[in-house]
Amino acid sequence: MSSERQRELNQPLGGNAMPRFGGIATMMRLPQAQTAAGLDVCFVGVPLDIGTSNRSGARFGPRQIRCESVLLRPYNLATRAAPFDSLQVADLGDVATNPYDLKDSVRMIEEAYDEIVGAGCRPITLGGDHTIAWPILRALKKRHGPLAVVHVDAHADVNDTMNGEKIAHGTPFRRAIEEGLLQCDRMTQIGLRGTGYHADDFDWCRRQGITVVQAEACWIRSLVPLMAEVRARVGDAPVYLSFDIDGLDPAFAPGTGTPEIGGLSVYQGLEIIRGMRGLNVVGADLVEVSPPYDTTGTTALVGANLAYEMLCVMPGVQFR
Amino acid sequence: MSSERQRELNQPLGGNAMPRFGGIATMMRLPQAQTAAGLDVCFVGVPLDIGTSNRSGARFGPRQIRCESVLLRPYNLATRAAPFDSLQVADLGDVATNPYDLKDSVRMIEEAYDEIVGAGCRPITLGGDHTIAWPILRALKKRHGPLAVVHVDAHADVNDTMNGEKIAHGTPFRRAIEEGLLQCDRMTQIGLRGTGYHADDFDWCRRQGITVVQAEACWIRSLVPLMAEVRARVGDAPVYLSFDIDGLDPAFAPGTGTPEIGGLSVYQGLEIIRGMRGLNVVGADLVEVSPPYDTTGTTALVGANLAYEMLCVMPGVQFR
Amino acid sequence: MSSERQRELNQPLGGNAMPRFGGIATMMRLPQAQTAAGLDVCFVGVPLDIGTSNRSGARFGPRQIRCESVLLRPYNLATRAAPFDSLQVADLGDVATNPYDLKDSVRMIEEAYDEIVGAGCRPITLGGDHTIAWPILRALKKRHGPLAVVHVDAHADVNDTMNGEKIAHGTPFRRAIEEGLLQCDRMTQIGLRGTGYHADDFDWCRRQGITVVQAEACWIRSLVPLMAEVRARVGDAPVYLSFDIDGLDPAFAPGTGTPEIGGLSVYQGLEIIRGMRGLNVVGADLVEVSPPYDTTGTTALVGANLAYEMLCVMPGVQFR
Amino acid sequence: MSSERQRELNQPLGGNAMPRFGGIATMMRLPQAQTAAGLDVCFVGVPLDIGTSNRSGARFGPRQIRCESVLLRPYNLATRAAPFDSLQVADLGDVATNPYDLKDSVRMIEEAYDEIVGAGCRPITLGGDHTIAWPILRALKKRHGPLAVVHVDAHADVNDTMNGEKIAHGTPFRRAIEEGLLQCDRMTQIGLRGTGYHADDFDWCRRQGITVVQAEACWIRSLVPLMAEVRARVGDAPVYLSFDIDGLDPAFAPGTGTPEIGGLSVYQGLEIIRGMRGLNVVGADLVEVSPPYDTTGTTALVGANLAYEMLCVMPGVQFR
Amino acid sequence: MSSERQRELNQPLGGNAMPRFGGIATMMRLPQAQTAAGLDVCFVGVPLDIGTSNRSGARFGPRQIRCESVLLRPYNLATRAAPFDSLQVADLGDVATNPYDLKDSVRMIEEAYDEIVGAGCRPITLGGDHTIAWPILRALKKRHGPLAVVHVDAHADVNDTMNGEKIAHGTPFRRAIEEGLLQCDRMTQIGLRGTGYHADDFDWCRRQGITVVQAEACWIRSLVPLMAEVRARVGDAPVYLSFDIDGLDPAFAPGTGTPEIGGLSVYQGLEIIRGMRGLNVVGADLVEVSPPYDTTGTTALVGANLAYEMLCVMPGVQFR
Amino acid sequence: MSSERQRELNQPLGGNAMPRFGGIATMMRLPQAQTAAGLDVCFVGVPLDIGTSNRSGARFGPRQIRCESVLLRPYNLATRAAPFDSLQVADLGDVATNPYDLKDSVRMIEEAYDEIVGAGCRPITLGGDHTIAWPILRALKKRHGPLAVVHVDAHADVNDTMNGEKIAHGTPFRRAIEEGLLQCDRMTQIGLRGTGYHADDFDWCRRQGITVVQAEACWIRSLVPLMAEVRARVGDAPVYLSFDIDGLDPAFAPGTGTPEIGGLSVYQGLEIIRGMRGLNVVGADLVEVSPPYDTTGTTALVGANLAYEMLCVMPGVQFR
């Protein structure tokens, strides 16, 4: 990359140009783009919470993540990633949803992602409840073929139905598997735990070939070895990272809709994302941040940081 | 009423039998009933917020109103109403809704109210967002014929569509009027205000024959005279009271989804309900309490008190 | 008062000497005194909440009122009272209570006030729950004889028993009346409202000769005329002001233990206190501020201001 | 105005195009402009709180006001103002300040406003603490000459110094008067109250010819008559409206830095702004919203609405 | 167990029958029972906080734990416990306490537990402050003889007196040991830490034969090995689990009355309870959740989950 | 130490003499001293937040830390330190700062610390933002010579300038190093992490000879080994401990101005401080607690405890 090109890349608005508490809150204070054309990676919000089964509020997730993202500076001091030195990145704003019809919202999301993905852009999505993963996966499959998946969550999200409905925030991976969007043998679910409707709820996943790593298997240890296994499993497949913030323990991320105790630590969350470096990451999401329940502001801050870390493992990022 | 019968009437669990901070939180700590059979009046919750256009959270309204209602004692010290001396009242629990489909939820609500109203019971509904008024009005119309209405709200809720949808928390009275559920010339809307999509938004209501009392006309004055007019307008018609908590100013009720400044005071809210004494009130609702935004707990407390005041103006209540 | 003496009077620590956010939080940042000797008026806390029937938390009332009092400057810009120009005032700290025994706490409070009142000091008490009024009144009676009372509250606090107990935050004035501590014909209760165990709960007070002004009689009007009547009623009797913060509407004072809607405005609260100017005020309390429920901080702020206004109507205050 | 031109005017992003909880939070979801060129009116933020004497946090005022402004629709249903039908309006974003040097920040603000005002644009400022009024007034004076002022506040803000400093949030109008920026005989201060360093603090203002309306004179009454007087006093002078949110009572606006009880109601706040219709308003500010203390979100909501109402009385607005 | 019997066992109300945000909030949405007759295990609340030494509020613990428990589904996905497949379980509601007299409350609690335990039911108690452990232990001893104990806490709770009182939340185990209710050589205290009145405070416990495991000995490690030791120590004795939520670090459980930093993680809390599987657990409590200080809601959520985990290690539970 | 002397040493006010929720909130409820004369160690507050780059609020840090410190008892049950058995300790109150001028505040702080340090007292400072470390270090250097440092923080705080300013909360150690106040080869920075303006931001520190331990190197492990290295590195040099609460992860300390995820655990924070036992600690600070963002109260509680632990490793403390 020539210094010529470097000068043309979008950069986050710096703290010296505008105090961090000032300015319009786009993601990382990046320029807002109207379309994905010309972008290597975009941040894009999907404000939606009508797929939630318990607490709502995730509709404000994208806005609040952006608000807390203003503290982020461009370089990753842990991994020395320099995403803005080589990638064209912008904030695409939000995908419009239909607040009164979940099925129609799913349709609108898929159309919006068809366009984003079709432009060759890799989306990092700010949710929004987990329902949105399904239409996003549909759009990605069209371009990249069946996807390997790293899925961080307290819940498997493979219910057949919820309240009789096929579409809800507990069903997206069931739908995706049914439609052949995923490569289950290259899929890993990390952090699953809690209570269920059957003692063997997670075994359905295992029967599809998915590797399930329950939260208890992660307690009080580093996930660096696990991620080596994950990378081997993914191999050179296009891979999607779906990160439900409730994969983390409520101590680290209280502001979410269906919190489960005994979850991953934020250290492990970072290890998971950083452990995806080198893979062909074609998209990622950070979902289920519910600001009304995030009384400390920490959850949105975690969400903003994790979204940034996702950017730092996108193909093409340089490390210094 | 004989003392015999009085002993059989449900009574709220008293503070001496169980401290107010103890016990299962039913409405006013009344017994819970499985059906409306034999009840004169019931409290019933409709937990729903997928009809909201801005902040969600009203799905937890019924639960939180019940929690704050535990402070309520049986007698009204302002009006000397003694509702539990002559009426059989219980908490019916909540109407199950479909959290993922608003249209289906509307159907479920109507069915539930068909049963409640069909049993001869007058429901006091704890919402939930304002969408629920429409199916409730449909059920009431079947039994009582077209209804007079007292509608307290910041918004007229007569939009034709929202985001292209016919069903939403901003459309229930449009639908009700279209279906002939209401007697518009016996309907009053109080507290309307704020911003709109057209400068003449409220004139549509007026053209239907509704009396619109904008919030500005209520500022810093008693509404006792207004309520005399309202009573005359209603006459002997069956009348429904629909009280959106955002009719009150956010100073009095901050925890709601689409707050508008410059609203009614809580004094005026009480005057309105108390001013309905003597009318043939066939049902009432208290909607749009959103607990995640009710950081002081005041909104749910107001909601609980207003629901109790609604009980105190039901036909058949004795005053001592 | 000579200018000589004036220089020796305690003064609140000024904002120029120490920013308002700095310094140890005594009441108004006044010097702390170990005893009441030599003081004309003292602020004194009684941290106690084991007399409460619903929400607890008032044990932290004195501390939080002090924290919010740091914004107070010495002169009253509305009444031009200059309390520190002529009175010796200090913060006496808190009366130690027994957190595990209400009856013993009442004993400890009375002993502490015997000493304060015995020193010729007029106490302004920061509560604590309303139970504390009874031992304070006992101590005041010993020195001043039976007292006229101005009692601002949502509740009459004249229950005979609560849960079978004679001592609780709902009984202090019953106990005081039984013991002949009060001149009921010179007593006014303002702001009473809400729900009760009998429709005629407040009539017991009226039968004792107390003037009861229910909240509804105060709505949306000035209480200046009422206070003229109150002053006439009190005459030259020693008078005690007991101000339960729940006398105010929750919009103005949400952080309290047994909130009732439809209460006094803060304007009326100020009119009541200012209306006592010229009377022989021998003591006052501000009770039932519960900081854990005061999520906005407003209630403690109101409490601090009202306590200051009480100081401004103490005998001997000069107006400039 | 031809329909041709109307189509070119900026419009707030509508709720049907993007749900209100979605999209980047500019003021009213208006387009963001880089400069004031071509704008009739702009919203502009000044994030600054290092001029505050008690609680800080107002640096986040502009961002939070924008977040709550997303609920605002284009038309004013009370006054029928249609500001976007005839005025070109945009969100200019924030003025960069120096978070570590108040004096330098004041310089930066003045320069920024020189440019805005120089472009013929009338700024509606979202603060930020009240210090910012001084550099704004300096810029306005350069273009419009000495200004009439309507100043809503709990405090007179005419201190000579604070902690020995000439520049602070309690001194802007002193500085402005010293420099001849104001027409004191055409200036009104409304809502002043609380405690002070001298009993006659407000008399200094009166000696300059300012009309001071203390809060007590406003209690429980309409300010429509007052505003008739104000309009007469202002006449045809260019007039600036400076609205400190602490002019309102903490019940209506708890999230501010130096709250004083007994303030204006939000109804009166609206009456004041609407009462300025017809004047030559050359600028306005809404200051001292402190989001960390705005736990209910109400204060920012009030701020957003009042800023919108300021727009509605700008010269050139049409009413429908 | 025949399938016949299985159908008769109480089951938590499922999320498909009623959305989790709906319905009356009993524990896990189980049926409420009036007596313990026929129950294998009950959940029962003891709303009490007048035994607390610092922050109050635990009186609302049972209600809030119930509110957060609505998210719990019947099966334990970590241990595959299926408690409702073989045990009859219900929510007994709350034990009435005397809010004004701690000693009397203790008496009332003992009587209530005499009845529960006498019915052959194993109680899982939702507190309330830790004072309640003493009367519960008295009732259990009468039926089961001296008890082994697993006590999770930041504090040893073996003070002789507090403020001169024998009964308080810091004394229950001292009283229990004095009365011979416990088998100290089969007792383990886990998580003790913080500051004390003597440097050797915990040595008194050790002198009684109790095994004390200070928090520091638990940091950053699994407690599975410790629990093997605990199980060996308990052997076949009847064992009581007393879990003070302040045993956990405030990061995991901020809403409590006397928080101490450096506590157990929630992972360790789960390891402790799950490590009791196979023991003859005769009762358990989860105490000191103080909702007013639980601003994130996490503490009550943790409490609800831990109470469920206690159920999962009760004798007779099946694992699938 | 004779028992004679012991009796003269200041002791924290005990919980039996005054309930912990009562009394004026000095640090640990110690006596307040006017000067440092005769004190071995003092607690002293520096209320300042005008050096912050993102969220303000730390100006209230000292007051809130004091409020939460009331729960602290005199003896350390983990280390058996008995600081009040041998050291004379008091609360010095706060250093007055200039709220409107950061540079002047720095001057005022240095002067105040010249006096404290000059009296032979070792200060434990309660901040306030991190700017204050620089003037404190200047004062300490004058008496003790260049200092070894243990610096716990998310940020290196060695920026040359921020917004063009030399003095800010991100520059104190840069200034201190430039002035020769520090022995860089005896300095350790622990917990650094997050994002930066250059990928090699921390390398500047390393080039000065500082040992930098990034947060990632601390994850999920004990820091006892690290502290052995730190002690060896410090040797017998006078050493200063500067503890920015944001060194901890937001799960443990959410209430701070520039939070970064992935930080130290509170266990590690305790290990660091306790690991300094035996060193010649000449002063310590605990900075960046921002109460408005500390919605759970946990951060101030952690701050109070850490400040106490600092006292426990001061030279001369006895262990029992």
CA distance F54 to F49: 10
Nearest-CA distance A56 → chain B (Å): 6
**What are F263's two structure tokens?**
């930080």
> Does residue D292 sit at the C interface (CB-CB below 8 Å)?
no
Interchain CB contact of A219 with E (< 8 Å): yes
C neighbour chains, 3+ CB pairs within 8 Å: B, D, E, F
pLDDT score, position D200: 83
Identify which of F18, F63, F97 has the shortest CB distance to residue C94.
F18
F132 part of contact set with chain D, CB < 8 Å: no
Interatomic CA distance for residues C203 and C212, integer angstroms:
9
Residues of chain E predicted below pLDDT 50: 1-4, 6-7
Residue of A71, A266, A270 with shortest CB distance to F251 = A266
**Mean pLDDT of the region A272-293:** 98
Other C-beta atoms lying within 10 Å of the C-beta of residue F288 = 33
For chains C and E, count residue pairs whose Cβ atoms are closer than 8 Å. 60
Contact C297/E at CB under 8 A: no
Task: Decide if E19 and A255 are in contact by the 8 Å CB cutoff.
Answer: no
Interface size E-F, in CB pairs within 8 Å, comes to 98
The whole-angstrom separation of Cα D16 and Cα C67 is 47
Q: Are E274 and E78 in contact (CB under 8 A)?
A: yes
SS3 call for F2: coil
Give every CB contact of residue A42 below 8 A, 6+ residues apart in sequence.
A33, A36, A89, A90, A91, A92, A116, A121, A122, A123, A124
pLDDT at D192 over 80: yes
Residue C229, phi-psi category: left (phi > 0), alpha (psi -120 to 50), beta (remainder): alpha
Give the distance from residue B217's alpha carbon to the nearest chain C alpha carbon, in angstroms.
15
Q: What is the mean pLDDT of residues A163-169?
A: 96
**Which residue in chain D has the smallest CA separation from C306?**
D261
Q: What are the residues whose beta carbons fall under 8 Å from the beta carbon of E217, sequence distance 6 or more? A: none
Q: Quick check: F55 and D50 CB within 8 A?
A: no
Q: Least CA distance to B49: which residue of chain E?
A: E21
Compare CB distances from B47 to E19, E47, E67 and report the shortest one's residue: E19
pLDDT of residue E130: 98
Of B22, B94, B99, the CB nearest to E96: B22
Distance from CA of B127 to the nearest CA of A (A): 15
Its ipTM equals 0.96
The CA distance from B104 to B130, in Å, is 16
Residues in chain A closer than 8 A to B60 (CB atoms): 55
Out of A73, A265, A319, closest to residue F195 by CB:
A73
Residue B6 clears pLDDT 60, i.e. is over it: no
When CB atoms are compared, the residue of E194, E220, E295 closest to F267 is E220
Q: Is cis: bond before E128, omega within 30 of 0? A: yes
Which tokens belong to F9? 């040493």
CB neighbourhood size of E280 (10 A) = 17
Span A73-77, average pLDDT: 97
Distance CA E217, CA E123 (A): 30
C293 near E CB under 8 A? yes
From chain A, pick out residues whose CB is under 8 angstroms from the CB of D97.
Answer: 19, 22
Instruction: Report the distance separating Cα B90 and Cα B311, nearest Å.
Output: 11
Instruction: Using CB atoms, list chains with 3+ pairs below 8 Å to chain A.
Output: B, D, E, F
| pLDDT at position C199 | 83
Whether the Cβ atoms of residue F272 and residue F315 lie closer than 8 Å to each other: no
* pTM, full prediction: 0.97
Q: For residue B201, give how far its alpha carbon lies from the nearest alpha carbon of chain D (Å).
A: 7
Q: pLDDT confidence of A200, banded at 50, 70, 90?
A: confident
Mean pLDDT confidence for A251-275: 98
Determine the Cα–Cα distance for residues F262 and F308; give it in Å rounded to an integer.
25
Per-residue pLDDT, B48: 98
For residue A88, give the nearest of A279, A239, A320, A311 by alpha carbon. Answer: A311
Q: Which chain B residue lies closest to D305 (C-alpha atoms)?
A: B261
**Would you state the structure tokens that stand for residue C231, as one six-digit string?**
């002053």
Residue of F13, F16, F20, F21 best to disrupt the C interface, most CBs of C under 10 A: F21
- The helix (H) or strand (E) run that includes residue B151 is strand B147-152
Q: What is the pLDDT of residue A227?
A: 98
Please tell me the distance in Å from F294's CA to the nearest CA on chain D. 10
pLDDT at position A3 = 47
The closest alpha carbon to E278, from E238, E314, E306, E307, belongs to E314
Can you identify the CATH homologous superfamily of domain F3-7+27-319?
Ureohydrolase domain (3.40.800.10)
| Confidence band, pLDDT 50/70/90 cuts, at residue D199 | confident
| Confidence check: pLDDT of D4 > 50 | no
User: What are the residue ranges spanned by the domains of chain A?
Assistant: 3-319
DSSP E218-257: GTTS-SHHHHHHHHHHHTTSEEEEEEEGGGB-TTT---BS
Angle between helices D133-144 and D102-118 (to 10 degrees): 30
pLDDT of residue D1: 38
Residues of A in contact with F202 (CB under 8 A): 77
- Would you call A24 and D26 a contact, using CB atoms and an 8 Å cutoff? yes
DSSP for C173-209, please give it. HHHHHHTT-EEEEEEEEEEE-SEESSTTTTHHHHHTT
DSSP state of D313: T
Residue B256 confidence class, pLDDT cut points 50, 70, 90: very high
Alpha-carbon distance values, A105 to A51, A69, A100, B257, C311 (Å): 10, 26, 8, 21, 61
* A186-209 mean pLDDT: 95
D214 interfaces chain C, CB cutoff of 8 Å: yes
B185 touches chain A (CB under 8 A): no
CA distance E187 to E233: 8
Rounded CA separation F241/D205 (Å): 51
The candidate with the shortest Cα–Cα distance to E81, out of E274, E280, E281, E298, is E274
Measured between alpha carbons, how far is D169 from F25 in angstroms, rounded to an integer? 29
Residues in A closer than 8 angstroms to B293, CB to CB, are 292
Eight-state DSSP code of residue E300: H
> Residues F107-120, buried b or exposed e (16+ Cβ, 10 A)?
ebbbebbbebbeee
Element (H, E) at E94: strand E89-94
The yes-or-no verdict on residue F243 having pLDDT over 90 is: yes
Q: CATH assignment of B36-319?
A: 3.40.800.10
- Are A63 and A296 in contact by the 8 Å Cβ rule? The answer is no
Please report all neighbours of F, defined by 3+ CB atom pairs within 8 A: A, C, D, E
State the Rg of chain C over Cα. 18
Chain F: residue nearest D166 by CA? F100
CB distance F157 to F173 below 8 Å:
yes
Closest CA to C248 of F39, A230, F270, B252: B252
Instruction: Determine the 3-state secondary structure of F243 from DSSP.
Output: strand
DSSP track, F195-211: EESSTTTTHHHHHTT-E
User: What is d(CA F257, CA F260) in angstroms, rounded to the nearest whole number?
Assistant: 10
pLDDT score recorded for residue A250: 98
CB C129 within 8 A of CB E131: no
Counted across chains B and C, CB pairs separated by less than 8 A come out at 98
CA distances from E79 to A258, A260, E30, E76 (A): 20, 15, 21, 6
pLDDT of residue C4: 42
Interface check E103 vs A, CB under 8 A: no
Contact yes or no for A165 and B53 at CB 8 A: no
Q: Which two tokens stand for residue F190?
A: 């622990």
F25 closest CB neighbour out of C59, C63, C95: C63
Write the single-letter amino acid at D294: D
Chain D positions in Cβ-Cβ contact with residue C70 (cut-off 8 Å): 54
CATH-assigned architecture of domain A3-319: 3-Layer(aba) Sandwich (3.40)
Inform me whether the pLDDT recorded for F1 exceeds 60.
no
**CA distance to partner chain A, nearest, from residue E319 (Å):** 8
Q: How far is CA C97 from the centre of its chain?
A: 18
For residue D105, what is the nearest residue in chain A, using CA coordinates? A19
Q: Token digits for F125? A: 């400072």
Beta carbons of B306 and B246 less than 8 angstroms apart? no
Q: Are D62 and D297 in contact (CB under 8 A)?
A: no
Contacts of residue B165 in chain A, CB cutoff 8 Å?
98, 100-101
Across chain A, mean pLDDT equals 96
Tens of pLDDT, residue by residue, chain C (320 residues):
344 454 489 999 999 999 999 999 999 999 999 999 999 999 999 999 999 999 999 999 999 999 999 999 999 999 999 999 999 999 999 999 999 999 999 999 999 999 999 999 999 999 999 999 999 999 999 999 999 999 999 999 999 999 999 999 999 999 999 999 999 999 999 999 999 999 888 999 999 999 999 999 999 999 999 999 999 999 999 999 999 999 999 999 999 999 999 999 999 999 999 999 999 999 999 999 999 999 999 999 999 999 999 999 999 999 99
Nearest to C267 among D196, D220, D259 (CB): D220
The DSSP call for residue C33 is -
CB-nearest to A298 from F164, F193, F250 is F250
Question: Do C22 and F45 count as a contact with CB atoms less than 8 A apart?
Answer: yes
Residue of D nearest to C267 (CA): D262
Share of chain B above pLDDT 70, in %: 98
Closest CA to F20 of C44, C96, C255, C25: C96
> For D255, which residue in chain F has the nearest alpha carbon?
F292
CB nearest to C251's CB, from D193, D251, D259? D251
Q: Is the Cβ pair C52, E99 closer than 8 Å?
A: yes
What would the 3-class secondary structure string for A173-239 be? HHHHHHCCCEEEEEEEEEEECCEECCCCCCHHHHHCCCEEEEHHHHCCCCCHHHHHHHHHHHCCCEE
Amino acid B4: pLDDT = 42
Task: State the Cα–Cα distance between residues E156 and E189, nearest whole angstrom.
Answer: 7
8 Å CB contact of A51 and B164:
no
* F25 shares contact with chain C (CB less than 8 Å): yes
Instruction: Identify any residues that bridge with F244 across adjacent strands, giving them in sequence order.
Output: F287
pLDDT (mean) for D60-81: 97
In this structure, which CATH number among 3.40.50.300, 3.30.1490.20, 3.40.800.10, 3.30.360.10 belongs to the domain C41-319? 3.40.800.10
The reply to whether A108 touches chain B by the CB within 8 Å rule is no
Q: Measuring CA to CA, which residue among F117, B302, C33, B58 is closest to residue A56?
A: B58
Number of CB atoms found within 10 A of residue E9's CB: 15
